[in-house]
Structure 1
Amino acid sequence: MTPDALADLHARCFTTPRPWSAAEFADFLGSPLCFLLTEPAGFLLGRVIADEAELLTIAVDPAARRQGMGARLLSGFAATAKARGASCAFLEVAATNAPAQALYRQAGWRETGRRRAYYHAPDGTAEDALVMTCDLSHG
Structure 2
Amino acid sequence: MISLSFGSFGRRNFTVEPLAASDCTHLHHIHTQTFRHPWSEEDFHALIGQDTVFGFVAREEGQPGSAAGFVLARLVLDEAEILTIAVSPDVQRKGVGHALMDAVLRHLHGERARSLFLEVDQANVAAQALYRRLGFVKVGDRPAYYQTEGGRSAALILRRDLGSPA
Asked if TM exceeds 0.5, the reply is yes
**Corresponding residue pairs, total:** 135
Q: Give the letter aligned to residue 51 of structure 1.
A: D
Matched, 1:130 2:151: no
Q: Secondary structure at the match of 1:2?
A: helix
For 1:42-53, list aligned pairs within 5 A. Answer: 42-53=69-80
Matched, 1:82 2:109: yes
CA–CA separation in structure 2 for the residues paired with 1:22 and 1:49: 24
2:38 corresponds, among 12, 19, 30, to 19
Q: Give the letter aligned to residue 106 of structure 1.
A: R
Q: Give the letter aligned to residue 34 of structure 2.
A: C
Residue identity over aligned pairs, in percent, reads 38
CA–CA separation in structure 2 for the residues paired with 1:64 and 1:118: 27
Deviation (angstroms), 1:36: 1.4
Instruction: Give RMSD over aligned pairs.
Output: 1.5
2:16 aligned residue: none
Deviation per CA, 1:35-74: give whole Å up to 9, x if none.
1101111111011011100011111111111211111111
2:47 aligned residue: 28
Q: Secondary structure at the match of 2:131?
A: helix
CA–CA separation in structure 1 for the residues paired with 2:109 and 2:45: 24
TM-score by length of 1: 0.91
Matched, 1:7 2:34: no
1:39 aligned residue: 58
User: Which portions of structure 1, spanning 4 or more consecutive aligned residues, are displaced by more than 3 angstroms?
Assistant: none
Q: Which runs of 5+ in 1 are unaligned?
A: none
CA–CA separation in structure 2 for the residues paired with 1:47 and 1:79: 14
- With a CA cutoff of 8 Å and minimum separation of 6, indicate the structure with the bigger relative contact order: 1
Q: Give the letter aligned to residue 21 of structure 1.
A: S
TM-score by length of 2: 0.77
Structure showing greater radius of gyration is 2
1:102 corresponds, among 129, 140, 150, to 129
CA–CA separation in structure 2 for the residues paired with 1:27 and 1:124: 32
Q: Give the letter aligned to residue 118 of structure 1.
A: Y
Deviation per CA, 1:80-134: give whole Å up to 9, x if none.
122223110100000100000001101111111110111223x582211000000
Matched, 1:60 2:82: no
Q: Give the letter aligned to residue 105 of structure 1.
A: R
CA–CA separation in structure 1 for the residues paired with 2:29 and 2:150: 23
